[in-house]
Amino acid sequence: MSCAVPSAVPSFVPRAVVLDGHIAGAGSQEGTRLVVGRWHRSPVGRFADVMVERPDGTRVLLAPRDDVVGLVTRLYTFDDVRVVEVAVVPDPAARAWTVTAGPLRARLVLGRRTATGRLLGLVPRAVVGARATGGLVDAVARTAVRGVRTRGRGRDGSLEVYAARDQHALVALDAQWDGRDLGGLRPVEPPVRFGFSSVPARPSVTALRVTIEAPAGPATP
């Protein structure tokens, strides 16, 4: 089911909130880029969602419920929002995720921990997520991983802080959109345009905590 793209910033969750989980970013040979979120903790409970940018630049949100739509569109911008069943099923033995979300069917295969993932293991979590050191971490992240920022403003003016804990490479993609094959795995290029940041150009899965602070003023009703 499609729903109207919110024209005003939703007033959902007017306080600081935290999300814990994983984000997978992958490009396809056909040109579609995928950002898959698998969240174990959030203000609306556990959920998965997919942000898609099609080759023509159309930005699509695939979300399982209206409350998830409210949270995600508070922060990011889309041309089309669809409320559909979204499932991300991990297979630890095969090191793969199976993703089903409306028109999307995908299988993502994970590889080894990246160099960035090894470096993240050396950084205390308190340093990565702290506001006092966030600017420094953001500058380092933008230098080390093209297209990535760790701090920025959401659509409603909220401050977002991304504290990554680990990262593994994606090594294969098998995906279809409305039954049409999207081709094999490619870098996430051009960068996706949902908000202030992007996922790394190199396909990967990143474990992270996202802290979203309330905007300075009242949210738009």
Q: What are phi and psi of 73, to 5 degrees?
A: -75, -10
Q: Is the peptide bond before 10 cis (omega within 30 degrees of 0)?
A: no
* Distance of alpha carbon 52 from alpha carbon 192, whole angstroms: 8
- Give the pLDDT confidence score for residue 126 in this predicted structure: 57
Task: For the chain, list residues with pLDDT below 50.
Answer: 9, 11-14, 128-130, 132-149, 219-221
What is the rounded radius of gyration, in angstroms, for the C-alpha atoms of the chain?
16
- Give the pLDDT confidence score for residue 203 in this predicted structure: 96
* Residue 189 and residue 200 in contact, taking contact as beta carbons nearer than 8 Å: no
What stretches of 82-190 show up as alpha helix (H) in DSSP?
Answer: 115-120, 125-129, 131-144
* Residue 195 and residue 75 in contact, taking contact as beta carbons nearer than 8 Å: yes
- Give the pLDDT confidence score for residue 186 in this predicted structure: 97
* Distance of alpha carbon 205 from alpha carbon 165, whole angstroms: 11
* Residue 214 and residue 158 in contact, taking contact as beta carbons nearer than 8 Å: yes
* Distance of alpha carbon 112 from alpha carbon 36, whole angstroms: 19
Using DSSP's 3-state secondary structure scheme, residue 161 falls into strand
**Beta bridge partners of residue 82, listed in sequence order:** 2, 62
pTM, two decimals, is: 0.83
Using DSSP's 3-state secondary structure scheme, residue 69 falls into helix
- Give the pLDDT confidence score for residue 146 in this predicted structure: 45
- Give the pLDDT confidence score for residue 7 in this predicted structure: 53
* Distance of alpha carbon 191 from alpha carbon 211, whole angstroms: 23
pLDDT digits (tens, 9 = 90+) for 3-19: 666 655 454 444 678 89
Q: Tell me how crowded residue 128 is: count the other CB atoms within 10 A of its CB.
A: 20
Instruction: Provide the residue type at 116 as one letter.
Output: T
Closest alpha carbon to 58 in 208, 194, 203, 165: 194
- Give the pLDDT confidence score for residue 150 in this predicted structure: 67
Instruction: State how far the alpha carbon of 99 is from the alpha carbons of 28, 87, 134, 139, in Å.
Output: 15, 6, 32, 33
Q: What are phi and psi of 196, to 5 degrees?
A: -70, -25
Tell me what the pLDDT averaged over the chain comes to: 83
- Give the pLDDT confidence score for residue 67 in this predicted structure: 96
